């Protein structure tokens, strides 16, 4: 609420210092672009519950899914981008609902005061300390601690990519992610997982294409479609071979090329009208057109056959 809080955050400096090293290291897996925006008078869509014992407002775990939709409707990122978007929101509660804390399923407060949703992003609630004097002028100036915020956002980014810190036995030693936020072995794990996923996707796509083409007897496969299929198969074979030798980056690139080629073959315009127009639909469309004309023709043929048989049975008159 700009009437109560004048929030100032160094988002450009925080992105360059905290986010850019992680994004640069993940550039082998995907291409990223980072945008930011500020929303005024944003509402969560859920009325928090006031707790008298702690003199604070609480958001329960079962109400968190209802928080995303009202906020997402006002975000411009999903409408401006053709690619998947991960949203990381910092929410400053209005004065009437401050301080605001998030509870887990057991009713305990969440230490980070944040939550994340798979394939969507995360939201962190940033409480502003009440002024010591009740006569303080509004709006209150707030400098966001970007180190604390980015620590939560980067942890959520790791979770969204499937990288969670697991408890290991004490005799195990793990490489520290350092300032990049991502260790080399974690990047290798991502490349391996995405390569295997791409290979499975290509196998499913080509199998579905083969099954559909087998059902259509009069289909014509153009040379460019056949070349895309051959290219997808060759890329998959190359990805599998490079995975076996441990060349993860090359295997990942080959699997991406296989996915692209298989999708081009499956969604080729020359096949779409045949894939979605099988023989049973042809009969359903053409029978109502030809049946009215076929009935009198069949009746005439039957009459001709009957008259021919009667002529053969009649005795021949001799003069």
Q: Name the residue ranges covered by the structural domains of the chain.
A: 5-161, 199-215+224-267
| pLDDT attached to residue 230 | 93
Burial class (CB in 10 A: 0-12, 13-18, 19+), 181: buried
| pLDDT attached to residue 295 | 82
9-35 pLDDT, tens digit per residue, is: 889 999 999 999 888 888 888 888 888
| pLDDT attached to residue 100 | 87
- Give the up-direction half-sphere exposure of residue 306: CA atoms within 13 A in the CB hemisphere: 6
134-185 pLDDT, tens digit per residue, is: 666 777 888 888 999 999 999 999 888 888 776 777 787 777 766 677 888 8
| pLDDT attached to residue 201 | 93
User: For residue 140, how far is the Cα from the chain centroid?
Assistant: 39
Residues 266, 271, 277, 278, CA torsion sign? negative
Q: Are 242 and 254 in contact (CB under 8 A)?
A: yes
| pLDDT attached to residue 319 | 55
| pLDDT attached to residue 296 | 85
| pLDDT attached to residue 197 | 93
Distance CA 40, CA 138 (A): 16
Reported as type and span, the H/E element at residue 89 is strand 87-91
Residues of the chain with pLDDT under 70: 77-81, 131-136, 166, 177-179, 217-219, 272-282, 314-319
One DSSP character per residue, 214-245 reads HH-TT----HHHHHHHHHHHHHHHHHHHHHHH
Residue 258 CB partners (closer than 8 Å, separation 6+) = 198, 199, 202, 231, 232, 233, 235, 236, 239
Distance CA 248, CA 228 (A): 23
Residue 31, by phi and psi: left (phi above 0), alpha (psi -120 to 50) or beta? beta
Give φ, ψ of 229 to 5 degrees: -65, -45
């Amino acid at each position: 609420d700009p009437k109560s809080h004048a929030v100032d955050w160094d988002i450009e400096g925080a992105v360059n210092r905290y986010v850019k090293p992680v994004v640069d290291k993940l550039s082998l897996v995907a291409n990223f672009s980072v945008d930011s925006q500020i929303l005024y008078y944003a509402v969560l869509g859920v009325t928090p519950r006031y707790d008298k014992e702690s003199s604070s407002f609480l958001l329960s775990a079962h109400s968190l899914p209802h928080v995303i939709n009202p906020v997402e409707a006002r975000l411009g990122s999903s409408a401006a981008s053709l690619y998947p978007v991960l949203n990381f929101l910092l929410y400053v509660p209005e004065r009437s609902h401050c301080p605001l804390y998030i509870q887990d399923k057991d009713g305990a407060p969440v230490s980070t005061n944040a939550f994340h949703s798979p394939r969507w992003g995360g939201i962190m609630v940033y409480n502003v300390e009440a002024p010591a004097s009740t006569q303080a002028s509004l709006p209150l100036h707030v400098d966001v601690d970007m180190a604390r915020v980015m620590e939560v956002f980067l942890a959520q980014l790791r979770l969204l990519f499937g990288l969670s810190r697991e408890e290991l036995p004490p005799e195990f030693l793990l490489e520290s992610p350092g300032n990049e936020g991502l260790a080399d072995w974690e990047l290798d794990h991502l490349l391996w997982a995405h390569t295997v996923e791409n290979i499975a996707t290509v196998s499913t796509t080509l199998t579905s294409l083969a099954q559909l083409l087998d059902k259509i007897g009069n289909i014509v496969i153009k040379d460019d479609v056949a070349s895309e299929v051959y290219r997808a198969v060759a890329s998959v074979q190359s990805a599998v071979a490079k995975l076996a030798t441990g060349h993860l980056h090359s295997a990942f690139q080959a699997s991406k090329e296989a996915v692209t080629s298989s999708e081009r073959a499956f969604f080729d315009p020359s096949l779409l009208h045949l894939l979605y127009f099988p023989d049973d639909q042809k009969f359903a469309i053409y029978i109502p057109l030809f049946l009215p004309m076929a009935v009198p023709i069949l009746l005439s043929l039957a009459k001709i056959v009957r008259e021919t048989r009667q002529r053969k049975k009649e005795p021949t008159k001799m003069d």
